[in-house]
Structure 1
């Protein structure tokens, strides 16, 4: 009887979603009552968000599997606070917006990496709503001070072409204003992240309406609830990609199925187009590796956080991989588009880039090198997948994965042993 040499199917329990955890912390802090968050992500970003809430006077009780937050619809419990947002973009953009709904003087600063990332469209919109917001150094960047006196609400115009987080911040603020908000959006990237926000607001008692390019958010506040955090789809992309890169390998991620909130689960559709076998069920998603991966041209505007994952496996496709409409990746933790290109070239791949695209040619025989992370967790986790085919790859800052997945290296090492 022949022996089945295929790798055994794997089922992975992954950490909770960073995006959902951050939104849930804001909603819990703003809600009337005590909210319990089940299986939140515990990472540098989310711990920084929770710490920021505590600095603002909110009570956050943390156990290994749940966090409890005492909501304060009236805003922060302290009249003055100094909040350090670490590297977290959601922390640095959402907390000043939350503080604006209260009464007091609140200063926010962040890491050098986060200080470089843009904030101007959100700052402009908050000022248009009457918020007293002052940037201390470079205009449109941290550090900043909010002198809060509540927010009346009304109409505002927003450019969210650099980051959907600007729109999310205003949507989350809307129910805390006296009149509600009508937000006219002139440009928008990463639409699925906005859909996450709207769906979560509904769970906390607020229904957002959309009239063309205008989002309508009613006043009235949020109600507390118990909210379970689904696994992080961006994190899952590394394991799905690893399976796709390994003929016959199979991985299943429970908790990410047809009802998942996160648009980044759409990454498996890209893998399907490249030849992987993909099954998305009600409660889980499974990817199985094909005998070979095919190249493709793909627009990743809405799932741009998974662009580095695709770039990292692109050299092993049978034809070029061209990723388009990802200009916003240039203003993430680093210029991800150029960082991917530089690292791939160092490995020996032929790569071309433009303002919003990258094209990677087949290069089955790569040379191991030290990957430059630029302090960006996604560079390290993506090129860890490349390491399945290129033994000897190392990283200049492997520890930067603590931002979203502190145990990534251990989890991935265990995972690859079964491939």
Structure 2
């Protein structure tokens, strides 16, 4: 599918879609809980459907109703199935990382795989950490990558050290399953990026009845704690809302965005602060987005409309996203006459007046959505190829854009 975007003036109200990060974790925690959970307002997208399917493969009963998930938890004891369980994660890195740890609670052999892009995203740190916890896990093909095969068993627990440089999802995966270890876990994290996602994990663990203590760079989880099923409502997604906040800013339109929690643990609410403080008069500005990788594309588009140079730092881990997001952003920004370049961990963008272009999404939903917003105020029309990639996190993105007056043709 192609989306053709023309310069537009916007007006209207958008309800932020449910948080992808919270939905993934709520599905998993409800699955690991004792008793039934009702998850209200979940995000139903390609990625979260992968997590639903994975939990079902492990033996969890999940019913999908209109804006509701009914999940019958297994209390951390997945049923015996007497078969090799095969779980396909598509292109969902969150599913792959979190479910790899969760699957260790099964008594079966489990194979976890994904599409070609996911097979190139790192798993080494998680595999090594689980091995230290005496879990039998190994890569089937290339070491440190999917597919992996594991034999379910109870984690030993104890002290463990892991790097958070490649992905915070490794830490979330270990935290989610820590209460089921034989003894208490002390998880020391070095070089942590994207720490707000850890905050989301800990927030939801607490909601479902498990406490995590943090002292310095170490997380402490007492063994024997239990998750308890409950009713839970998923809050709106700040990263998805950032596209409309950006659209309002660059087109000088009036857009009201609802369904956002002002006290959210989501790190991407930082985009609001960026909009308030981005210095329009400074010739050079620098911003550290090491903890906010999902809004890097949105901030990059903002920078492209503002005179002067913007340096976005501490984002080397974006090379391991749905695409090599640093490389993808530079390629597409340059198509729009926005001079940009990247290093191993930064982006340099020189603001100009973007011109319409034919954009390759690189199979990356955030590239598609951020450049669609750029097209709303670029000179000429902008074409987004493979526009359907937004289904990964925001299936209603194009409809919501049209709803507030954007001139968008879907072909």
TM-score (norm 2): 0.92
Superposed, 1:2-401 pairs within 5 Å as 10-77=12-79, 78-80=81-83, 81-219=85-223, 220-247=225-252, 249-274=253-278, 296-364=285-353, 366-390=354-378, 391-401=380-390
Whether contact under 8 Å (1:274, 1:294) holds in the other structure is no
Deviates further, 200-209 or 172-181: 172-181
Q: What CA distance in whole angstroms lies between the structure 2 residues aligned with 1:9 and 1:376?
A: 27
Q: What CA distance in whole angstroms lies between the structure 2 residues aligned with 1:258 and 1:11?
A: 17
Whether contact under 8 Å (1:274, 1:295) holds in the other structure is no
Residue aligned with 1:301, SS? coil
Shift of residue 293, structure 1, vs aligned partner: 10
In the comparison of the two structures, how many residue pairs are matched?
396
Deviates further, 75-84 or 372-381: 75-84
When residues 340 and 409 of structure 1 are mapped into structure 2, their CA distance, relative to the original with a 3 A threshold, is: same
When residues 411 and 136 of structure 1 are mapped into structure 2, their CA distance, relative to the original with a 3 A threshold, is: same
Q: What CA distance in whole angstroms lies between the structure 1 residues aligned with 2:405 and 2:302?
A: 15
Q: What CA distance in whole angstroms lies between the structure 2 residues aligned with 1:312 and 1:399?
A: 20
Q: What CA distance in whole angstroms lies between the structure 2 residues aligned with 1:141 and 1:198?
A: 26
Q: What CA distance in whole angstroms lies between the structure 1 residues aligned with 2:206 and 2:255?
A: 32
Whether contact under 8 Å (2:376, 2:406) holds in the other structure is no
Q: What CA distance in whole angstroms lies between the structure 2 residues aligned with 1:235 and 1:148?
A: 36
Shift of residue 146, structure 1, vs aligned partner: 1.1
Number of the residue aligned with 1:280: none
Q: What CA distance in whole angstroms lies between the structure 1 residues aligned with 2:221 and 2:329?
A: 38
Deviates further, 130-139 or 313-322: 313-322
Deviation readout 1:275-326 (Å, 9 max, x if unpaired) = 69xxxxxxxxxxxxxxx99963111111111001111232210222221111
Q: What CA distance in whole angstroms lies between the structure 1 residues aligned with 2:10 and 2:387?
A: 28
Shift of residue 64, structure 1, vs aligned partner: 1.3
Q: What CA distance in whole angstroms lies between the structure 2 residues aligned with 1:98 and 1:342?
A: 37
Shift of residue 104, structure 1, vs aligned partner: 1.3
Q: What CA distance in whole angstroms lies between the structure 1 residues aligned with 2:377 and 2:77?
A: 51
Residue aligned with 1:411, SS? helix
Highest RCO, 1 vs 2 (Cα 8 Å, sep ≥ 6): 2
Whether contact under 8 Å (2:297, 2:370) holds in the other structure is yes
